[in-house]
A and B are shown apart, each in its own frame.
Chain A
Amino acid sequence: MEADSPQFLHVPTLLEHSVPRPSRPWVWYFGAGLLLLLILSGLTHAQGGAVAKAVDVLIALLIGGFLVLATWFSSQLARNVAVEHGKIDGISELITLRRWQEAAVAVQDVLSQPMRSPGARVQTLIYFAGILGRYHRFEEAIEVYDYLLSEYSLDERSQQAMKLGRAMSFLRNDQLFDADRAISDLRRSARRNSVDDSEGAAPMPQFSESAGLALLEMYRDVKTGHPEEAIQVFQVSKDDIRRQFGHRVADAYALAAKAYDLLNRDEDARQAFADATALSPLDELTRRYPEVQSLAVKYTPTPSPYAQPTPPPVDLSRGVLA
């Protein structure tokens, strides 16, 4: 399917088509067949003769055939599962490399047919929601997140990750009330997890240190005109964000620059903007946070010593596709 087709990345279609098909119960068929033959064998042995011998040979052939077929089916199944995993790993790599258009095409391809396992489907749908968000199709991204959160019983951390994505989509879609409620829910979960983890569970990274939640709160505070709170979150969470997000800490610097600018702290804003643009290209930052656009007029971005050819923008927004 072409990237500009109206059905491209169509959420209801892909959700419907990607549902895994139940596999045929081959083992039960074999078991029933074997049981039948064993009963037959018992009956024929009671009578003796050539029929009993023939049934025994049939049983041997059935068992031998089953072993061969089971091996063949298992290898086919393993191969198909490996192919699907390979495709999902490929999508993950394309997203990491920010090759969004290719990732979108790959997701469309994978979700257009029944998937092999629910786990692989969940993973692909998470990537799907991320791609929709990338192309500013936030309502559809929320639809996918809602579907995932309602249809699957996932572990706490996966749920939190999806709720983060959903809350960010609310914010970007200017659904501030929904976003605030989603963030409050995340903060409550973070506190609960923090208490649970301190009571003896495995020492995994605490959700209270979640870089995603910190970024979300900064963005909400910038959007709703509370720059002091955004700066406070930035100062407390900067180390966590850079440890967990690497170069995406540029997002935090960009939002901090906006917050400083709202407070007329020009020197701090200039420095934060320079740091943000040292780590990430300006157009990438403004694509993620349109509010940062106004800073580009006021402050000079850090120049990159090399100019990368910018790929032509691909618009996969719903407006274009409709």
Chain B
Amino acid sequence: MLSTDDAILRARRDLALSTFVRRLLLIIMLIVALVGPMLQGGWVSGGLLVGLLIFWMSLQARSLRLSQETAHSPMLIAAGAYQEAEEQIERSLRGFSIAQNVKLMGLHYLSLLRHAQKRFDEAVLVCHALLERRGTIESIERSTRLVLADSLLELNDLRGAHAAILGLYSHRLSLGEAMQLLVIELEYSARVGGWQEMLNNAASKIDLAEAMPGEAAARAQAFLALAAKMSGLTEMSLWLRRRAELLMDPSELIGAKPFLRELWETSEFTPSPGNPGEDTFPSE
């Protein structure tokens, strides 16, 4: 099994090699195309060029095959099949590819895998390796920064997490990424006690949370419930807490984020239909 450090080293080496091979092939093809016919005649240079094009296309096809094989990794990770995902990622990182995307995607999937395996220190290493490289595809960069921020939060590196979050503000995020960022931001703010900041524009945050997958929706609303509780907004806190409970077992929520225990510590929640509290929702 390839270790994380070895995977990073191998990816760096292969990226340099693929750049070299690509440039070399392009230069040779240009020379053969432009100069060859004048020196040798059409048959020889044409044949050589066709041969080079076929070689180039076969390398591209190999890259495409590797890329397609690795594309299943996120699904395997989501299904908890870490061993199979690791094997697929390893194949993509060990094999030669003329397209740089294959290696970059392989590294990116490795960061997702390490994050899912809760090996956060290794996830951070892979994310840094990806981000330090200039010319990384923007979508990979955004996703990598999200994984980095969450991993740093798990490692209690709040300063690093804040920097990673700030790095995302200069990007235009997709809806899915915006949802992930919201959960990360809420957790970060909860960890530093930024209750008021969490409740700013809360209605939009709740709307976004409603569109999230179950676990993320539960976490986001549990964080907001804690902020509301800390800000004395009892009715809102109880409403959000009930929503979180309906989406995920409180024991699972607390197991993943122990500071959420405070949300369930004092009063027992009893649903109070038709009895709105006195506190109001914070203004936008």
Bound pair: A and B? yes
Distance in Å: Cβ of B173 to nearest Cβ of chain A: 11
Is A279 a contact partner of B174 (Cβ separation < 8 A)? Answer: no
Alpha-carbon distance between A243 and B80 when the two chains are bound, in angstroms: 14
* Chain B: CB-nearest residue to A304: B239
Contact of A60 among B34, B213, B271 (CB under 8 A): B34
Is A37 a contact partner of B79 (Cβ separation < 8 A)? Answer: no
Is A306 a contact partner of B214 (Cβ separation < 8 A)? Answer: no
The proximity string for B residues 170-189 relative to A, scoring 1 for CB distances below 8 Å and 0 otherwise, is 00001100000000000000
Known contacts A242-B248, A243-B214, A279-B246; decide if A34 and B46 are in contact (CB<8 Å).
yes
Known contacts A97-B211, A249-B214; decide if A305 and B41 are in contact (CB<8 Å).
no
Contact of B239 among A41, A205, A302 (CB under 8 A): A302
Q: Number of contact residues on A: which range applies?
A: 35 or more
Asked if A51 is an interface residue, CB under 8 A from chain B, the answer is: no
Known contacts A56-B42, A242-B248, A274-B271; decide if A305 and B239 are in contact (CB<8 Å).
yes
Is B273 a contact partner of A300 (Cβ separation < 8 A)? Answer: yes
Residues of B with C-beta under 8 A to A243: 214-215
Is A67 a contact partner of B36 (Cβ separation < 8 A)? Answer: no
Known contacts A204-B75, A242-B247, A247-B247; decide if A97 and B43 are in contact (CB<8 Å).
no
Distance in Å: Cβ of A317 to nearest Cβ of chain B: 25
Asked if A195 is an interface residue, CB under 8 A from chain B, the answer is: no
Alpha-carbon distance between A42 and B212 when the two chains are bound, in angstroms: 66
Distance in Å: Cβ of B266 to nearest Cβ of chain A: 19
Is B247 a contact partner of A59 (Cβ separation < 8 A)? Answer: no
Contact of A305 among B30, B174, B277 (CB under 8 A): B277
Is B217 a contact partner of A59 (Cβ separation < 8 A)? Answer: no
The proximity string for B residues 18-45 relative to A, scoring 1 for CB distances below 8 Å and 0 otherwise, is 0000000000011001111110011101
CB within 8 Å of B: which A255-280 residues: 270-271, 274-275, 277-280
Contact of B246 among A42, A60, A89, A249 (CB under 8 A): A249
Known contacts A67-B29, A278-B246; decide if A57 and B38 are in contact (CB<8 Å).
yes
Is A205 a contact partner of B79 (Cβ separation < 8 A)? Answer: yes
Alpha-carbon distance between A316 and B183 when the two chains are bound, in angstroms: 35
The proximity string for B residues 241-254 relative to A, scoring 1 for CB distances below 8 Å and 0 otherwise, is 01100111000000
Distance in Å: Cβ of A283 to nearest Cβ of chain B: 14
Asked if A64 is an interface residue, CB under 8 A from chain B, the answer is: yes
Alpha-carbon distance between A242 and B72 when the two chains are bound, in angstroms: 25
Asked if A322 is an interface residue, CB under 8 A from chain B, the answer is: no
Known contacts A203-B80, A204-B75, A278-B242; decide if A244 and B214 are in contact (CB<8 Å).
yes
Known contacts A202-B76, A202-B81, A205-B79; decide if A278 and B174 are in contact (CB<8 Å).
no
Known contacts A202-B76, A302-B239, A305-B280; decide if A278 and B37 are in contact (CB<8 Å).
no
Residues of A with C-beta under 8 A to B212: 246
The number of A-B residue pairs with CB atoms under 8 Å apart is: 138
Residues of A with C-beta under 8 A to B80: 203
Q: Number of contact residues on B: which range applies?
A: 35 or more
Distance in Å: Cβ of B203 to nearest Cβ of chain A: 6
Contact of B175 among A34, A41, A97 (CB under 8 A): A97
Q: Chain A contact residues: over half helix, strand or loop, or mixed? A: helix
Asked if A196 is an interface residue, CB under 8 A from chain B, the answer is: no
Residues of A with C-beta under 8 A to B275: 303
CB within 8 Å of A: which B51-94 residues: 72, 75-76, 79-81, 84
Alpha-carbon distance between A185 and B57 when the two chains are bound, in angstroms: 44
Contact of B43 among A42, A64, A246 (CB under 8 A): A42
Residues of B with C-beta under 8 A to A244: 214
Alpha-carbon distance between A278 and B236 when the two chains are bound, in angstroms: 12
The proximity string for A residues 31-53 relative to B, scoring 1 for CB distances below 8 Å and 0 otherwise, is 00010011001100100000011
Known contacts A57-B38, A202-B84, A306-B281; decide if A301 and B273 are in contact (CB<8 Å).
yes
Asked if A55 is an interface residue, CB under 8 A from chain B, the answer is: yes
Distance in Å: Cβ of B60 to nearest Cβ of chain A: 12
Residues of B with C-beta under 8 A to A72: none
Asked if A63 is an interface residue, CB under 8 A from chain B, the answer is: yes
Distance in Å: Cβ of A185 to nearest Cβ of chain B: 25
Residues of A with C-beta under 8 A to B277: 305
Known contacts A246-B217, A249-B214, A305-B280; decide if A89 and B174 are in contact (CB<8 Å).
yes
Known contacts A38-B46, A64-B34, A247-B210; decide if A303 and B276 are in contact (CB<8 Å).
yes
Residues of A with C-beta under 8 A to B217: 246-247
Asked if A308 is an interface residue, CB under 8 A from chain B, the answer is: yes
Contact of A275 among B235, B246, B281 (CB under 8 A): B246
Contact of B79 among A55, A203, A275 (CB under 8 A): A203
Residues of A with C-beta under 8 A to B214: 242-247, 249
A-B contact pairs, 6 of them (CB 8 A): A42-B42, A45-B43, A278-B246, A301-B273, A302-B239, A304-B239
Given contacts A278-B239, A278-B246, 10 further A-B contacts (CB under 8 A): A41-B41, A59-B37, A60-B33, A203-B79, A242-B248, A246-B212, A246-B214, A303-B274, A306-B203, A306-B206
By a beta-carbon cutoff of 8 Å, the part of chain A in contact with chain B is 34, 37-38, 41-42, 45, 52-53, 55-57, 59-60, 63-64, 67, 89, 92-93, 96-98, 202-205, 242-247, 249, 253, 270-271, 274-275, 277-280, 299-306, 308
Q: Which 9 A-B pairs have the closest CB atoms?
A: A41-B42, A306-B281, A56-B37, A300-B274, A93-B175, A246-B214, A300-B273, A60-B37, A63-B33
